[in-house]
Amino acid sequence: MNDMSLMNLQSEMTTVSAAAIEALAAQQRGPVLDAHHPSYDGVRGIWNAMIDRKPALIVQCAGAADVIHAVQFARDNRLLVSVRGGGHNIAGNAVCNGGLMIDLSPMKSVRVDAKAKRVWVEPGASLADVDKETQAFGLALPTGINSTTGIAGLTLGGGFGWITRKFGLTIDNLVAADVVMADGQMVRASATENPDLFWALRGGGGNFGIVTCFEFKLHELGPQVMSGLVVHPFDDAKTVLAQYRDALEAAPDELTCWAVMRQAPPLPFLPPEWHGRNVVILAMCYCGDLAAGEKATAGLRAIGRPIADVVAPHLFAGWQQAFDPLLTPGARNYWKSLDFIELSDATIDLLTDAIRALPGPECEIFIGHVGGAAGRVPAEATAFPQRNSHFVMNVHARWRDPAMDKACIAWARGIFEAGKPHAAPTAYVNFMPGDESDRVETAYGGNYCRLAEIKRRYDPENLFRMNQNVRPAH
C-alpha cells in the first residue's frame, strides 16, 4: 500500500505512511482492505441501503488481538473509527467516511456450557447463530425478533424480543464482557471487575470500547413454543388494538404479543384477495408449557373477526426467524420510535390514521410489548433507562426507489411528532436513526450524567463516537 489520507478525529484528513499501514497488516490475522480490494464494497455494505459510506481502510478482525492492534493504530494516528458487528443498525454507524472501519463480522464463535447454562459469543455472531447453538441444548437467550441482527449492537443497546417479558432484556442476562478500551488495553467487565464499565455497557451502546466476547446466562426453553400470527382486517383496527391493550393487562410474563400494521404480504395462509391490503397483525409467543400457552393466548385469539389464525406450536428457533423475509438487506430504511407507558385511545387513533397514509407496501408500524421481568429491574441498575415502558413503537419506513426518500421519511417523522405528546421521554437507542443525536441525552434520562462521567474516564477523546454518542463529561 502507498501513503494514505484518512479522516481524523478533528474531521480533517491526515496522512498515514505506507510503512505504518504495512506494519498494521503484518500484525493482523485478518486482512486489511482499501478501496481497491475486491472484497471492499461487499464488506462496507450494510443492512440499510441508504448508507453508502466509504472508509479509507477496513480491518477485518479474526480475533481479539486484531481488535487490539486496530484500536492502537487508530489511537496512535487519531483516526475516525467505526465498528461493525452485524451491520444491522438503522443509523449506519458501522461505516464511516474516510476513516478506519473495524469489522468484527468474521468473529462468529458461539460456545455453550450446557451444565452451567452459559454461552460465550463473539461480536460478529448473529441472533440466528446464537439460537442454533443454544437450542441444541434446550437453552435460550432473550434477544430480538430479526435473526440476522448482530448480537453485539443489539446487546449494547439493550435487546428485547419474544421472551424478554419472562427472562429480561438481553443485557439483563449479560454476565461479563471482554472489552478493548480506547487506549488499546483489554479489560474484563462484570459485576465485580470494572463494575462501572459493566453498568455502562448494559444499554450505553458502543461508547466505551469494543466487546470481543460476551458471556451470557441461559434459560431452559424449547424446542417448541406456542406462537404465530392472527391477522385482522384494518377496518377493525381500532377495536382490535383496544381489546389487544386490555387483554395484555393481565398477561403472564410468559406471554408476549406485538401488533403490526401494514399491507398484507403474500403469506401462504392468507386468501389472495387480502394480499396488498391494509391489515392488523397480532404476533404472539408463549414461552412455557404448550397447553398453558393455548389457554394464555385464547383471549387474544378471540378478539374480533380474524382473516387467519396460525397460532400453534412452532420450533422456537424457527419462530425467531419468522419475520426475516420482511427484513432482508438491500432496502432503504428510516425509523422513528417512541416508548409508551400505555397504549391510549389517542395513540391508537393516530396510529390507525397513519396506516391509512402508508407511502409504500413495505412500510409498517409495530408495537412491541415489553414489561414483565424487564420492567422489574430498577432504572438505575443498568444504563438502559426505560424500564416502565409497556410498549415500544417503531415506525418502520422501508422502500426501494430513492425517489421515495422524501415521502417515506416525512411519513415516519410525522407520526413521531404526533405521538410525542402521548409518549415517555426515553427512547430505545437501537431504533434511533442517524439524525437524532440531539435526542441521546433525553433517551438515557437520569442515567446520562453517569454515562458521560464513565465515558470521560474510559474514552476522554471520544475515539468511539460513531454511535448514539455520549460525549465525555468535562
**What is the mean predicted confidence (pLDDT) over 164-172?**
98
pLDDT for 1 equals 73
103, 124, 157 - which closes a domain: 103
Co-location of 338 and 281 in the same domain:
yes
Confidence of residue 244 (pLDDT cuts 50, 70, 90): very high
Q: Is the pLDDT of residue 187 over 80?
A: yes
Q: What is the CATH number of the domain that holds 173?
A: 3.30.465.10
User: Is the entire prediction scored with pTM above 0.75?
Assistant: yes
Q: Which of 221, 248, 272 is the last residue of a domain?
A: 221
Spatial CB neighbours of 217, under 8 Å, sequence gap ≥ 6? 117, 118, 173, 175
pLDDT band at 2 (very low <50, low <70, confident <90, very high): confident
Output the pLDDT for position 152: 98
Peptide bond connecting 233 to the previous residue in cis, omega within 30 degrees of 0: no
The percentage of residues in the chain with a pLDDT greater than 70, rounded to a whole number, is: 100
User: 250: how many CB neighbours lie within 10 A of its CB?
Assistant: 9
Are 99 and 231 within one domain?
no
What is the mean predicted confidence (pLDDT) over 253-282? Answer: 97
The helix (H) or strand (E) run that includes residue 407 is: helix 405-419
Domain assignment present for 447: no
Domain that holds residue 33: 4-103
438 contact partners, CB below 8 Å, separation of at least 6: none
Model confidence at 388: pLDDT above 90: no
332-372 pLDDT, tens per residue?
A: 999 999 999 999 999 999 999 999 999 999 999 999 999 99
Domain annotation covers residue 420: yes
pLDDT (tens digit per residue) in 287-298 = 999 999 999 999
Q: Which three cell numbers stand for residue 417?
A: 411528532
Q: Are residues 329 and 424 in the same domain?
A: yes
Whether 470 is covered by a domain: the verdict is no
Q: Is residue 96 in some structural domain?
A: yes
Q: Is-contact 261 283, C-beta < 8 A? A: no
Is residue 345 domain-shared with residue 371, that is, in the same domain? yes
Shared domain for 72 and 152, answered yes or no, is no
Alpha-carbon span 375 to 392, nearest angstrom: 13
pLDDT band at 396 (very low <50, low <70, confident <90, very high): very high
**Residues of the chain above pLDDT 90, percent:** 98
Q: Are residues 270 and 363 in the same domain?
A: yes
Domains: count for the chain: 3
298 CB-near residues (< 8 Å, 6+ apart): none
165 and 191 share one domain = yes
Q: Residue 59 burial (CB < 10 Å; 0-12/13-18/19+)?
A: buried
Most distant CA pair in the chain, distance:
70
**Among 228, 256, 219, 225, CA closest to 138:** 219
CATH number at residue 15: 3.30.43.10
Per DSSP (E only), the strands in 85-173 are: 100-103, 110-113, 118-121, 139-140
For residues 237 and 296, membership in a common domain is answered with yes
Which CATH number belongs to the domain containing residue 350 in this structure?
3.40.462.20
Q: Domain boundary at 202, 221, 240, which?
A: 221
Are 70 and 55 spatial neighbours (Cβ–Cβ below 8 Å)? no
Would you state the pLDDT for residue 277?
Answer: 97
In this structure, is residue 371 part of a structural domain? yes
Asked whether residue 462 is assigned to any structural domain, the reply reads no
Note the pLDDT of residue 389: 78
List, for residues 17-53, the tens digit of each pLDDT value. Answer: 999 999 999 999 999 999 999 999 999 999 999 999 9
Report the residue count for the chain: 474
Can you give the three-state secondary structure of 190-246, one letter per residue? ECCCCHHHHHHHCCCHHHCCEEEEEEEECEECCCEEEEEEEEEEHHHHHHHHHHHHH
Clarify whether residues 297 and 184 are in a common domain.
no
Residue 394 pLDDT: 97
Query: So what's the pLDDT on residue 34?
Result: 96
Structural domain contains residue 42 = yes
Q: pLDDT tens digits, residue range 50-97?
A: 999 999 999 999 999 999 999 999 999 999 999 999 999 999 999 999
Nearest C-alpha neighbor of 123 from the set 147, 141, 144, 150 = 150
Same domain for 120 and 46:
no
Query: pLDDT tens digits, residue range 189-239?
Result: 999 999 999 999 999 999 999 999 999 999 999 899 999 999 999 999 999
For residues 242 and 305, membership in a common domain is answered with yes
Looking at the fold, whether 44 and 144 belong to one and the same domain comes out as: no
Look over the chain and give the mean of its residue pLDDT values, rounded to a whole number: 97
Kindly state whether residue 450 falls inside one of the protein's structural domains: no
